Amino acid sequence: MKTIRHLLLFAILSTCIFAVALGQNIVLKQSNESGIYKKGQKVRVILFLKDHAVDSVLVKIHRNHGDQVSEQKIKFIGDTLQIFNETFNEPSSVIFEASTKTETASIGSIVDPEQFTPGTNRPKDFDQFWNTEKKTLRALPIDVKKVSVKESGNGFNCFDTEINCTGPKPARGYYAKPAMAKPKSLPIVLLVHAAGVKGSWCRSEPGNALRYAKMGNGALCFDLNAHGMLNGQPEEYYANLENGELKNYYLQGLESKNDNYFRGMYLRLIRTLDFLANQPEWDGKRILVIGESQGGGQALVAAGIDKRVSAVIATVPAMCDWGGTLVGRKGGWPQPFESKGDTNKMKAALPYFDAAHMLKGSKASILTEIGLIDVTCPSTSVYAAINQSSGKKIIFTVPYRQHHAPANYLKETWENTVNKHREDFISNYLK
């Protein structure tokens, strides 16, 4: 039944995409509009060109999100041209890009995505390492500082919140909830943020927490920033962090599992979940973690590191299958194995923080969006991670999705299909 629902969704998607794309000059269409193929199945890509004055097109084909790129300038006669017609005998990904002097179009394909596995081995003491980290964290008496913010009111409370952590930074964000909720009546929603420091998308906001606190019959919502930053500070504060101690934070401690930056980020996740789960209003059943990019990676990590997490929404998630770089494909953001350093030391340290290993055995429901032309968080890396989970999976594999949501002629199509289904999932989950 899950497979049937998956295929029906893509039948809808492909119809909408092609109808909209016909309004463009360059259109790429593939034999399976979902972009998903089986081993041995023909992958056929056709280029449509409406402007007959264009006499040549530059075609690039990227295999496995790596350096395997073929490039050819093709003389164009007529209005259609077959640019690819091959089969694959192993799990693979391909990005097709066609460009003229004025326009570029791209589309992606993936072969046997359920067969991708992590490029590094899961350490034998992986569970022991994280159980020790959690034990040490929970041995620290929890200390919470809350200050009510002006956005509180109309039946909802919102607090600027700080929770001590072994992180080494505390967990900080905004916590919102209905003012008169009954004990054991509410789900938990944890919001986590994309990469960066000073951008608006990196910061917690009262409005984010209150939005989800007001959904359904109410929720306990915490909008957690990734870095333990203070909330509501002047722009200079965040700029100084980005140019100072948090500059290239994602590359800090690559050769040491004790010094790796993501260790603290993940401990702040656990601490926040502990705080929320201790609230008397929690229903004891539902914990939903929502994030995109780096936030998507954190959401997957939460599903693996805390068995109380029942569902996650991970949009184009980062921190997946860093070891893909070592086996001939591109690893997930921040691609640490592409950085300078002692490869053997990194191989010994980085797997402890890879979402692909975190997810092993997780039973949380996962809704994820995967962009088949995303080169920041490659499709292969995301599949290598979610394939380790044993929970229910709802996968939106989008052939035209780059890392950022479409902002061009495909925006409406994406909004009415992928994004709508995601919002419907959240609404239904929080009823």
Q: For the segment 101-149, what is each residue's pLDDT rounded down to a tens digit? A: 888 999 999 999 999 999 999 999 999 999 999 999 999 999 999 999 9
Q: How long, in residues, is the chain?
A: 431
96 vs 243: CA distance, rounded Å = 37
Residue 54 has pLDDT above 80, yes or no: no
pLDDT at 326: 96
Q: What angle do CA 302, 167, 318 make, to 5 degrees?
A: 40
Q: Evaluate whether 203 touches 212 at the Cβ level (below 8 Å).
A: no
Average pLDDT over residues 319-339: 96
DSSP-based helix, strand, coil % in the chain, nearest 5 = 30, 25, 40
Residue 216 has pLDDT above 90, yes or no: yes
Question: Residue 86 corresponds to which tokens in the numbers above?
Answer: 């091959």
pLDDT at 15: 35
pLDDT band at 50 (very low <50, low <70, confident <90, very high): confident
Poorest-pLDDT segment among 5-9, 281-285, 349-353:
5-9
pLDDT at 67: 65
CATH of range 25-115; options 1.10.357.10, 2.60.40.1930, 2.40.50.140, 1.10.3720.10: 2.60.40.1930
pLDDT above 90: percentage of residues in the chain: 84
Higher-pLDDT residue of 109, 4: 109
pLDDT at 68: 67
Residue 22 has pLDDT above 50, yes or no: no
Q: Which residues pair with 108 in a beta bridge?
A: 95
Structural domain spans, the chain: 25-115, 126-429
Residue 302, phi then psi, degrees to nearest 5: -60, -40
pLDDT per residue as tens digits for the range 357-375: 999 999 999 999 999 999 9
| Residue whose C-alpha is closest to residue 425's, from 1, 4, 3, 5 | 5
pLDDT at 100: 86
pLDDT at 20: 35
Higher-pLDDT residue of 326, 13: 326
Q: Does domain 126-429 have CATH number 3.40.50.1820?
A: yes
Question: Residue 84 corresponds to which tokens in the numbers above?
Answer: 């690819």
CA 16 vs CA 127, 164, 401, 415: distances in Å = 45, 49, 14, 11
Average pLDDT over residues 200-205: 96
Please name the helix (run of DSSP H) or strand (run of DSSP E) that holds residue 211, with its range, or none: helix 206-213
Give Cα 369 distance to the centre of its chain: 7
pLDDT at 9: 42
pLDDT at 8: 33
**Structure-token match 């019959």, residue found:** 217
Question: Residue 230 corresponds to which tokens in the numbers above?
Answer: 């203070």
421 vs 386: CA distance, rounded Å = 19
Q: Output the average pLDDT for the chain.
A: 92
pLDDT at 52: 62
Q: Evaluate whether 290 touches 313 at the Cβ level (below 8 Å).
A: yes
3-state secondary structure of 231: coil
pLDDT per residue as tens digits for the range 252-309: 999 999 999 999 999 999 999 999 999 999 999 999 999 999 999 999 999 999 999 9
Q: Evaluate whether 150 touches 232 at the Cβ level (below 8 Å).
A: no
pLDDT per residue as tens digits for the range 56-108: 889 999 998 866 678 888 887 677 889 999 999 999 999 999 998 888 999 99
pLDDT per residue as tens digits for the range 234-252: 999 999 999 999 999 999 9
Q: Evaluate whether 142 touches 164 at the Cβ level (below 8 Å).
A: yes
Which are the contacts of 75, defined by CB distance < 8 A and separation ≥ 6? 55, 56
